[in-house]
A and B are shown apart, each in its own frame.
Chain A
Amino acid sequence: GQNIDQPTEMTATEGAIVQINCTYQTSGFNGLFWYQQHAGEAPTFLSYNVLDGLEEKGRFSSFLSRSKGYSYLLLKELQMKDSASYLCAVFNNAGNMLTFGGGTRLMVKP
């Protein structure tokens, strides 16, 4: 089975940097994903890591360490619109299921 843990809530200041961590234990691993979800809306894809290391995409970066079962999402130059939930999800090795963590609600304050 899959066990995915991430903090429930985080608060950060506009313009700052925030790191959202995700740890996972899985019987099979074929990639880790981060989604953003604004309140009342559907999740939207942010990033995908299948190999160890850092993937950068504009203000957002995602890191993966498969040996440690660990990932983080780094958000730079925070904006008020970044206030949302961030969902960590693991893709199993059969390629059929994407299993989500409980999500981290990020509040960006002025």
Chain B
Amino acid sequence: NAGVTQTPKFQVLKTGQSMTLQCAQDMNHEYMSWYRQDPGMGLRLIHYSVGAGITDQGEVPNGYNVSRSTTEDFPLRLLSAAPSQTSVYFCASRMYVLGSYNEQFFGPGTRLTVL
């Protein structure tokens, strides 16, 4: 198993550009999520999905879009990048059972800089 994979590892954008961060998992996990990590602020949830066709907002969804057309993939789209979106982005996945926990696995991260 490859686990959770993310591409690209590094990306530099100019303000106003758009791009998609890719995330895939091969563990057949229903739950997938995107976090951003800024210095001193821990991980903040952007969007999450509990299954194909179902997405919902997290703590900091503004400026980001997601879709979930398959169980395996959960791309994160930045429609018009801003310097405030400079961050490290982590994708994560786990099995989903409402009200109970299953270990969450993180991808290696994408380091995004917006100039």
Mark A residues whose CB is within 8 Å of B. 4, 8, 30-31, 33, 41-45, 48, 50, 87, 89, 91, 93-103
Within 8 A of A (CB), among B71-115: 90, 96-101, 103-104, 106-109
B42 touches A87 (CB 8 A): yes
B50 at the interface (CB under 8 A from A): yes
Contact of B104 among A30, A94, A98, A101 (CB under 8 A): A98
6 tightest A-B contacts by CB?
A42-B106, A100-B42, A100-B43, A102-B42, A95-B99, A95-B98
Contact of B42 among A50, A91, A103 (CB under 8 A): A103
Task: Return 26 A-B CB contacts under 8 Å, by A number.
Answer: A8-B40, A30-B101, A31-B101, A41-B109, A42-B106, A42-B108, A43-B43, A43-B106, A45-B104, A50-B101, A93-B99, A94-B98, A95-B96, A95-B98, A95-B99, A95-B101, A96-B50, A97-B48, A97-B58, A97-B59, A98-B33, A99-B45, A99-B59, A100-B35, A101-B42, A103-B42
- B44 in the interface, Cβ–Cβ < 8 Å? yes
Q: Convert B49-76 into 0s and 1s, putting 1 for each residue whose CB lies closer than 8 angstroms to a CB of A.
A: 0100000101100000000000000000
